[in-house]
Amino acid sequence: MEQYKQEFIEFMVDCNVLKFGDFVTKSGRQTPFFINTGFYRTGSQLKKLGEYYARAINDTYGTDFDILFGPAYKGIPLSVTTTVALDEMYGAEIGYCSNRKEVKDHGDTGILLGSPIKDGDKVVIIEDVTTAGTSIGETLPIIKAQGDVDVQGLVVSVDRMERGQGTKSALCEIEETYGIKTTAIVTMAEVIEHLYNRPYKGKVIIDDTIKAAIDAYYEKYGAQ
């Protein structure tokens, strides 16, 4: 596993973004682990988060695209901090764009904020995490409505590696359904590999009990 992936896993733990216990996902699944990017709350945390995303984006897509689109609301800061990181790390001048939940009819009108999307633009979508793959179905029509654009892919922070609407993973289903390439900074398999029975700052984050709960979860919801 690359060093930056190990650092990102520890970064999530430090920021209280990656938690283990009893949670319910947006899709209604009872899960023993939860990733909440809303807990990245300071400037320094967002700066580092953007750098991790930028590394994953560059590794998968390079920087030959025009717009980084972050769906409202969590995608807004993700798109901003990552475009800054792409500029600082790779010298890439990429516009950030997000949607509004309601169309604005005065001043800066329309459904978008940030850089406008125009015909011919190459777009990468940035999200926090995809569980069942439902949100992309809401995001793509917004982008496609702006013109003849090329949506190149979707990047998330963590691939939960569980089923979407069928038996394949949500990210795999998105690739097959929409014809776009997906990637994540880390997968849950990498998270487990790095944290299972391995002390971090004097504490074992994933012990045998938590590991058993994760295994049971994947027995039920794991991608085939």
SS (H, E, C) 13-24: HHCCCEEEEEEE
Alpha carbon distance 126, 143 (integer Å): 13
Angstrom distance (rounded) from CA 114 to CA 176: 29
Catalytic annotation, pick one of 26, 104, 144, 220: 104
CB-based burial of residue 128 (10 Å sphere; 0-12 exposed, 13-18 middle, 19+ buried)?
buried
Q: Is 194 a catalytic residue?
A: no
Catalytic residue (choose from 19, 47, 106, 168): 106
User: Dihedral (C-alpha) 10, 11, 12, 13: value to the nearest 10 degrees?
Assistant: 50
Query: Which amino acid is present at 39?
Result: F
CA dihedral sign of residues 110, 113, 114, 120: negative
Is 106 part of the annotated catalytic residue set? Answer: yes
Residues serving a catalytic function are 104, 106
